[in-house]
Every structure is written in structure tokens, then in C-alpha cells.
Chains A and B, each alone.
Chain A
Amino acid sequence: MKSAVIVFPGLNRDRDMIAALTKVSGTAPATVWHQDADIPDVDLIVIPGGFSYGDYLRCGAIAARSPIMDKVRAHAARGGKVLGVCNGFQILIEAGLLPGALMRNMSLKFVCREVKLEVVNADTDFTRGYTKGEVFRCPVAHHDGNFFADSDTIARLEGDGRVAFRYAEGTNPNGSINDIAGIFNEQKNVLGLMPHPENLIEAAHGGDDGRALFAGLLGKAA
């Protein structure tokens, strides 16, 4: 599977994401600068974490209006896969590719710690490396990860199997409604999540619980 990582100024987990994709798949993803005219022909587009444009407006709001996002939308409309992690998730929501909103953490503070995630839907390319109900470790590092949506949207997300991951065992770090940590779009080819699986993929990270996401996605045995 071929992949590309989009870089906006201010993102800072692009190198972590590129390392994870490279280590799991054996090939480096293409790196696309936000001003590039085109995204190469790939199966997976990843928007990594960070602080695009400093997050001086609503997180992700400026990047979401960047011309390159039209190419991301077109890719998603064709059924291509899109993964947004942390700021990438915020950008996907601001770009309208995913519903809801990510508000300031309930503590009003940045939080970097390890949480537990429960796999809610394992029947997708993103989550097939896990089993339904499986609980795994994953770090978070964000200031604005408090997921919220109106009750109709939440009902649809829950009813249609569009909740990918839930914070488990009382580890919700930000006050997200229904402990939601990651969601799919309707077609389940777009995933956004706040936690950072790319920071838990090898012994040096103290575990490899996040590896299965990339392995499943890239078609590699976990």
C-alpha cells in the first residue's frame, strides 16, 4: 500500500508518523508540502499531529481551508483512505470530512499521558489489526481533544459502527462525549483519532500496541 503524509507549517509529529509508516511498511511514505499542486497516486493519505498555523485560530481551521485539502477531499470521495491523527483529526473535522467538534480539554490543560483504548469496530481496514472489544495502550498529547457532537450525530456514529476507538477503563483524558477517541466517516474510509498510535510501535517506545493499526492498514501482519 502506498501512502503520503501531508505537511502543513506548524505540524510537528510528521517525522513521528513518517517513521511509523516506514518502520511498519518497509517503505517511506511520500511527503507532500501543503503548497504542492498534487498528491501522488497513493492508497492512504495521512495528516499527522502538531499545531498547524500555530493553532492560533480554532485548531485545524486554517489548514482545513488550504487548497491541498480539495485534493484530500477528492481522494476520500474516490474511496481512498485518509487518516488524521490529533491535529490531523482536528483538520479533518474542520474540513468537513468528519462530523462533530474537538473542544478544549475539560481540564483546560494540555495533557500528555498514556491512556487505554477499546476497539469498538474492528471491521475496517484501519482497525482489522485489532479485535473488537480489545483494549490497548496508547499515548495522548493534546490541548483540544474533547470530542462533541449533537445527540443525533452521536446516535448515528454509535448506530452505524462509526466509533472506532473509545477511551477505556476510566482513562478519558479530555471529557469526550461517550469516551469517543476516534471516529470514521460514513464510508469508513476516513479515520480521525486524537491518540498517537505512531508513538507506541516498538520496544524503544515501551510497547508496540499502536503498531497493529498501521500493520492492519498497510496490509502487513501485526
Chain B
Amino acid sequence: MTYQNNITITPQLVADHGLKPDEFDKIVALIGRQPNYTELGIFSAMWNEHCSYKSSKKWLKTLPTSGPRVIQGPGENAGVVDIGDGQAIVFKMESHNHPSFIEPYQGAGTGMGGILRDVFTMGARPVAAMNALRFGSPDHEKTRHLVSGVVAGIGGYGNAFGVPTVGGEVEFDERYNGNILVNAFAAGLADTDKIFYSKAEGVGLPVVYLGAKTGRDGVGGATMASAEFGDDIEEKRPTVQVGDPFTEKRLLEACLELMATGAVIAIQDMGAAGLTCSAVEMGAKGDLGIELNLDMVPVRETAMTPYEMMLSESQERMLMVLHPEKEAEARAVFVKWELDFATVGKTTDDLRFRVMWQGEEVANLPIKELGDEAPEYDRPWMASAPPAPLAAGDVPQMDVADALLKLIGGHQSASRRWVYEQYDTLIQGNSLQRPGGDAGVIRVEGHETKGLAFSSDVTPRYCEADPYEGGKQAVAECWRNLTATGAEPLAATDNLNFGNPERPEIMGQLVGAIKGIGEACLALDFPIVSGNVSLYNETNGRGILPTPTIGGVGLLPDWSQMARIGFAAANQVILLVGAPANRGTHLGQSIYLRDLFGRKDGPAPHVDLAHERRTGDFVRKLIRSGVVTACHDLSDGGLGLGLAEMAVASGIGATVTDLTDQDPILQYFGEDQGRYLVTVNLDPQGDDLAALWKEAESLGIFAPWIGTTGGETLVLGAARPVAVAALKSAHEGWFPSYMDGKAA
């Protein structure tokens, strides 16, 4: 086989690799000559947006990433946070948007596979997963197909791998019609003294390839090959990767077994840009060169070229640097699990990334510069003007009971049971709260009382109206959801999904959202420890709604004190903690306006971070004192929907008294931030409740008694009582009926 490595690099070929002319000039200046074909491929893989963060790096640097519990912030495969007792939680969220749109089952499945690998690469056994999914309008012709394929793909991979899905999001909006979002989160547990990193150490040590064989899948997925290569084009077809959860499960067990032998010096999973990215990262971080011999790479297709091997995105593969004296022991572990184990290279002291193939050197590049010298842009950006406030008195009216039934049975708020019942939510036997509540909760295996809470949040319509407030709100809502279980929020991961950053208004959204996220993380002591940026999410020049998904982790010292959203019993006092004097006031960007009146106007709700912090800390303290019998934070649909969800979760009704001098629509459907519904088992006239109010007042928190639980109906003031059974039937009905082909 002949391989034309030293071809002329034309401007067209450079463009086909997604590199700009000035970026190519930079490459030539860096290496002092024209790159060959393999080298061009390697540069394109390392310098694309996905690997280099070239548009977002400047802004990502502003995020708070450290804290007393943070062991590892961004820059590794996943973030690592101390949870005490010598244990750490290792987590990250990552997008697989484009592949999931092209081939939903495999795209979503391999997204799951990638994020799980990020976690167990660090020595952690995955214990929880979440998925934040955003689809186009329910009435768009492709939506059902995509929902069905993505959900089956996530289930097919995660269920076989054996990790419980504990939470997530599913939303619909026409702005995702041509570009859905599949953001996968995974978290794993590890011992703090047994975390594994990608930084290689030591010269002349074996670089070992583990896991599945290399095929042509994913080659050129990011960097389309040139048509000028005629005969080659068939071989370089971009294909969506195909997932193999059985191999992933074996890879997990084999890696953890191998790590326990003490053989591993450094480890990196082969994700985007496969062998290239993992080898460069391990060498560059350790100030070492890497020499690879591609003849040793296990392949599953014949006649693969060096270019294809270096750019393949075949799944379920790992690269490690091992202690040479333990190589035999390491090999035995992989033989046991029937996985490939091949020494494919060695570390060197010359800081070069050298690739050998059939006795020929097909690439020789400076390893540090490949990663560190990637272009970094300060792209022009433009802040969008926030929408004008709604006119005074602009409160479109609808019967409160009718509105409630429509909202709880609408696409935004209907139960996601159809989705999460396709995921294994209880495997591992530690799931304390499964999807459907404010946050998923698991117990920490091996610990008597400790639990971990997980939540994934963002309100894209708020981010569109006001990226800064929307960014703040995404963090605050995640923090609030964790708090509502009684957990102390520890840290978060961000998955920033935006349109084309080369357009100043889109870049402005990214900048605004990051500013908001940073400010909220700082105010709430909720650092960002890992993340992923997905740009260019747009079709025909129209970007998606800006969607900075926040995945957060919280710690419960004693899960027996944890709160749930369902009303626990009748005759519980319902408090609206964190309420403004008028309970609810803000209708701009609410689902009441959007889904019942087709209006997307008004400003996003403001998040008062100091008030958010005080209120959350107060609610958490109440929960931990044992006085709280149920808790739910308010978000979409406001107070009305919050009460309805608590009733539906338990089958117990409630009666709430109207505030006489405020429009019921604002009271029940306003989406003011920083509010929790809390039920307590206290005498409304008693001293304990008086003391609670006194404390709240001293903290500047308004916590009015708005009603009492009990009965089989939900009574919102003067509105027609609604049977809890009717709410439940509306809530449960929409998703299955929609997926069966009935009207959206």
C-alpha cells in the first residue's frame, strides 16, 4: 500500500480541515516547514474548536474553579471534589449534539460512553448519570424520531454499562428543530489518594493502548477530508461512531483492576481526535515527548492509513503510560477481560510527537506547541439589549384552574416518565431519589448516612432574553434543586451550548452567560470543576437558544433527613420561603405567557444572589433540623405548578389562600426566583413556627404561611378546586400520548 504523506498542502485542503489561512501560517511558522498530510490532520484535530476552546478560553478563564473541596478543576478528564472520609466525587458533563441529530441512537449512546470513560479514566467507578436533552418543537416532523432514538440510545448504552440515571432534563423548542442538544453527565466515586491523571512521567516508558480496536469510524467527522484525493474518499467517509457498551463495561472493570495493581502512571481516554489528542495530552502535560509506532495499533479494518489511525474516533479505547516492570501483570488483567493490550510507543525526552509507520516517520511535531500554541481568539462580541419590561397591568387573564391543568399537562411540564422508565434508575441499589423530583439522590456506598444529590439545569428562554441573568439563573436553579433535598451544593460542571461564535451577537450570548455563571458560582460557593463547550449549533444561520447547562453535585451528611417533593401528609403547614411580599410578580419569559398566549416577551426574571444564598442556607438548615416534611423549589410555572407537582407526587391535595391585593395570575404563575415551597409539621399558632418566622425575618427572608395540605383537590384561593387525580392524569398523559402520534 502506498501512502501519499508528502503531498502539496493546498489552501483548499487546509480549508477542508477546518483551519483558517492564518492558522495554517501559524503552523508553518511553528514547525519551520510545510506540514505533511498526517501532520495537517493532527493539527486540525488539536486546533479545532472542540479540543482547543479557541473562542471560549479567554472567557472560561474567568470562572471560579477552586474551593476548599476542589481536588481537581477543569483541564483533566473530569473534575474531582472531596466529599470527606477519604472519598471524592469525580464528574463532568459533555455534549454529543451533532452526532445525535444525524444518528440519534448511536450518537446519544456514544455520548454516554464518552462521559462514562472520562469518569473512570480518573479511577472512579461511575455511580450516577443524568441527561439534559433539548429537542425541536413537538410538532416538527423529526422530533418524535429524535426523542425516541436518543432516549433508546442513552438507555441502550447506560443500562448495559450499569449506571443509574438519577435525573436530567427534556425540553422542546422550535429553535432546536435543526440542532438538538444531548448533554450527558456522569459522576463516579474514587478514593482521594487513588485519583489517576493524564500527565505522563518518566522517559522511555511504555505507552500502552487498551480496549477496543481502531476502525475508520469518526475519521474526518470533525475535519472533512478533501475530495481531491479521489480514490481515498470512500475510505475517509465520515461516519458516526458506533457504541459498544459491553466493551465499555469490560474496559471499566479492567481499568479499575489495573489501577489497583499500581501499574498505571498516566491514563487518558481516546475521545475526540482519538489517538492524537490522548497521546499529545499525556506527553505535553508531563513535559515529555511521545513516539508512537502505528504498526502496533490494534485495527479492525484493513489498509488503514496513518492519517486514519491518528484521527479515528473509534470508541472504548484508552492510552496509558505504565511502569515497565508491571507490564506483564497489566497485560494479564486485559487478557482476562478479553480486551486488546498493545505497547504502541514510548515516552521520550525530546518534546517531539513522533509517529512511525512501516519504518517511516510520518509525523514529527513539537508536542507542547500542538496543545499550548493553539490559536486563542478574542472574538468581537455584542451584548444584546434585554427585552422591555411588560407594560403595567399587562397580565393576560385565564381561569386559574384551566391554566394550571394546561401547564401541568403541556410539553414543558408534563411528566418525563416515558423517558426515564427507559433508563435503569435503580441499578447499584443506592438510588434514594429517582428522576421526577428536584434532584436525584444516591447514598454513598459503604457509608452509613452519607448521600449525594445531582441536578442539571438551565432555562434557555431566559438566556435568550438576557444571557447574563440566564447564566446566573442556571447556576442558581441547580444550586436550589440540590438545596431542596437538604444537600450542601459542592461544585458544578458546565456544558455551554451556543451558536456560531464568529457572529458578535452569539459571542455576546456566550460572554454574557459566562459572566452570569461566574458571578453566581462565586456568590453561592459553587465552583465549576469541569465542562465542555459546544459551539456552531445552528442551522441555516439561526442559532439555537443559548443553553449553558449546569450539572451540580451536593452532599447530604445524613440521607434519612433528606427532603422530597411530595406532600408527606395532611394538615401540614405550607410555607413559601423566599417569597416577595406579593408572592409572585414576574411574568416576563414565563411559560404562562409562552405556552398559553404564545408570547415570548418581557425580561428574564432577576436573580438576587445574596437573597438566593440566604434563602437556600435557611431552607437547608430547616430540612436538616428535621422539621420539614416536604420541599420543592419553584421554577417553570411558578407557585401554581410547584404546588400541583407536590400534590401529584403524593396524591395529597392542599388548600391555599389568595393574597387579596395581588392578581392571582401573578401570584400563581409568576416565575420570581429564589423561592421554595416547604411544608412543616408544626402548629400554625405554636411557638415553634413563631420562632421559625422570627429567624427568617432576622435574615430578611419572607416565609408566609400560604395554606395547608390535605384532601383530594388542590384549591388555589378563589379558583375552581382541581382534583389531584385530574392533575395527575394531565401530568402523566402528555408524553405517552405525544409519542403515540397524537397531536402535540
Chain B residue with the shortest CB-CB distance to A113: B421
Bound-complex Cα distance A141 to B160 (A): 11
Given A10-B160, A204-B443, are A112 and B429 neighbors across the interface (CB < 8 Å)? no
A1-16 interface bits toward B, Cβ cutoff 8 Å, 1 = contact, 0 = none: 0000000011011011
- Contacting residue for A16 out of B247, B250, B421, B428, CB 8 A: B428
Is A53 touching B428 in the complex (CB atoms < 8 A)? no
Q: For A13, A55, A112, A204, which residue has the most chain B Cβ atoms within 10 angstroms?
A: A112
- Contacting residue for B421 out of A15, A56, A111, A196, CB 8 A: A111
Is B250 touching A141 in the complex (CB atoms < 8 A)? no
- Contacting residue for A198 out of B423, B429, B432, B559, CB 8 A: B429
In the assembled complex, A109 has its CB within 8 A of some CB on chain B: yes
Chain A's interface: helix, strand, loop or mixed, by majority?
A: mixed
The residues of A that contact B239 with a CB separation of less than 8 Å are: none
In the assembled complex, B245 has its CB within 8 A of some CB on chain A: yes
Minimal beta-carbon separation of A163 from chain B (angstroms): 25
- Contacting residue for A199 out of B161, B247, B429, CB 8 A: B429
Chain B residue with the shortest CB-CB distance to A202: B429
Is A54 touching B429 in the complex (CB atoms < 8 A)? no
Is B422 touching A112 in the complex (CB atoms < 8 A)? yes
Bound-complex Cα distance A59 to B139 (A): 36
Given A9-B250, A10-B160, A141-B159, are A204 and B430 neighbors across the interface (CB < 8 Å)? yes
**Interface residue count on the B side (C-beta < 8 Å):** 31
Minimal beta-carbon separation of A113 from chain B (angstroms): 5
In the assembled complex, A161 has its CB within 8 A of some CB on chain B: no
Chain B residue with the shortest CB-CB distance to A16: B429
In the assembled complex, A148 has its CB within 8 A of some CB on chain B: no
Chain B residue with the shortest CB-CB distance to A33: B336
The residues of A that contact B560 with a CB separation of less than 8 Å are: 203
Is A15 touching B428 in the complex (CB atoms < 8 A)? yes
In the assembled complex, A167 has its CB within 8 A of some CB on chain B: no
Minimal beta-carbon separation of B165 from chain A (angstroms): 9
Is A9 touching B427 in the complex (CB atoms < 8 A)? no
A51-95 interface bits toward B, Cβ cutoff 8 Å, 1 = contact, 0 = none: 101111000000000000000000000000000000000000000
B328-360 interface bits toward A, Cβ cutoff 8 Å, 1 = contact, 0 = none: 000000001110000000000000000000000
Is A9 touching B246 in the complex (CB atoms < 8 A)? yes
The residues of A that contact B429 with a CB separation of less than 8 Å are: 15-16, 19-20, 198-199, 204-205
Bound-complex Cα distance A111 to B560 (A): 28
The residues of B that contact A10 with a CB separation of less than 8 Å are: 160, 246, 249-250
In the assembled complex, A139 has its CB within 8 A of some CB on chain B: yes
The residues of B that contact A143 with a CB separation of less than 8 Å are: 159
Bound-complex Cα distance A11 to B336 (A): 15
- Contacting residue for A112 out of B336, B337, B338, B424, CB 8 A: B424
In the assembled complex, A110 has its CB within 8 A of some CB on chain B: yes
Is A110 touching B159 in the complex (CB atoms < 8 A)? yes
Chain A residue with the shortest CB-CB distance to B420: A112
Near A by CB (< 8 A), chain B positions 140-163 give 152, 155-156, 159-162
Is B430 touching A109 in the complex (CB atoms < 8 A)? no
Is A141 touching B427 in the complex (CB atoms < 8 A)? yes
Bound-complex Cα distance A205 to B430 (A): 7
Q: For A9, A15, A111, which residue has the most chain B Cβ atoms within 10 angstroms?
A: A9
In the assembled complex, B244 has its CB within 8 A of some CB on chain A: yes
In the assembled complex, B405 has its CB within 8 A of some CB on chain A: no
Minimal beta-carbon separation of A17 from chain B (angstroms): 9
The residues of A that contact B246 with a CB separation of less than 8 Å are: 9-10, 51, 53-54, 56
- Contacting residue for B426 out of A20, A35, A111, A199, CB 8 A: A199
In the assembled complex, B425 has its CB within 8 A of some CB on chain A: yes
Minimal beta-carbon separation of A211 from chain B (angstroms): 12
Is B426 touching A112 in the complex (CB atoms < 8 A)? yes
Is B426 touching A12 in the complex (CB atoms < 8 A)? no
Given A9-B338, A12-B161, are A110 and B422 neighbors across the interface (CB < 8 Å)? yes
Q: For B336, B424, B425, which residue has the most chain A Cβ atoms within 10 angstroms?
A: B424
Is A109 touching B422 in the complex (CB atoms < 8 A)? yes
In the assembled complex, A50 has its CB within 8 A of some CB on chain B: yes
Chain B residue with the shortest CB-CB distance to A10: B246
Minimal beta-carbon separation of A209 from chain B (angstroms): 13
Q: For B427, B428, B430, B432, which residue has the most chain A Cβ atoms within 10 angstroms?
A: B427
Minimal beta-carbon separation of A50 from chain B (angstroms): 7
Is B443 touching A9 in the complex (CB atoms < 8 A)? no
Minimal beta-carbon separation of B422 from chain A (angstroms): 5
- Contacting residue for B559 out of A35, A141, A204, CB 8 A: A204
Bound-complex Cα distance A9 to B160 (A): 11
Chain A residue with the shortest CB-CB distance to B125: A15
The residues of A that contact B443 with a CB separation of less than 8 Å are: 204
Bound-complex Cα distance A112 to B428 (A): 13
Bound-complex Cα distance A205 to B164 (A): 13
Minimal beta-carbon separation of A18 from chain B (angstroms): 10
Minimal beta-carbon separation of B214 from chain A (angstroms): 19
Is A13 touching B427 in the complex (CB atoms < 8 A)? yes
- Contacting residue for B337 out of A9, A56, A196, CB 8 A: A9
Is A111 touching B422 in the complex (CB atoms < 8 A)? yes
Bound-complex Cα distance A111 to B152 (A): 11
Chain B residue with the shortest CB-CB distance to A196: B426
Minimal beta-carbon separation of B210 from chain A (angstroms): 15
Chain A residue with the shortest CB-CB distance to B337: A9
The residues of A that contact B337 with a CB separation of less than 8 Å are: 9
A118-141 interface bits toward B, Cβ cutoff 8 Å, 1 = contact, 0 = none: 000000000000000000000101
Is B161 touching A54 in the complex (CB atoms < 8 A)? no
Minimal beta-carbon separation of A35 from chain B (angstroms): 8
Bound-complex Cα distance A20 to B244 (A): 29
List of 3 A-B pairs having minimum Cβ-Cβ separation, nearest first: A54-B246, A12-B162, A51-B160
23 contacts between A and B (CB under 8 A): A9-B337, A10-B249, A12-B160, A13-B427, A15-B428, A16-B429, A20-B429, A33-B336, A35-B336, A51-B159, A51-B249, A54-B244, A54-B245, A109-B155, A110-B152, A110-B159, A112-B159, A112-B421, A112-B422, A141-B426, A196-B426, A199-B426, A204-B430
Which residues of A line the B interface, CB within 8 A? 9-10, 12-13, 15-16, 19-20, 33, 35, 50-51, 53-56, 109-113, 139, 141, 143, 196, 198-199, 203-206
Task: Apart from A15-B429, A54-B246, A205-B426, list 10 A-B contacts with CB within 8 A.
Answer: A10-B250, A20-B429, A51-B160, A51-B245, A110-B423, A111-B421, A112-B420, A112-B421, A112-B422, A112-B424
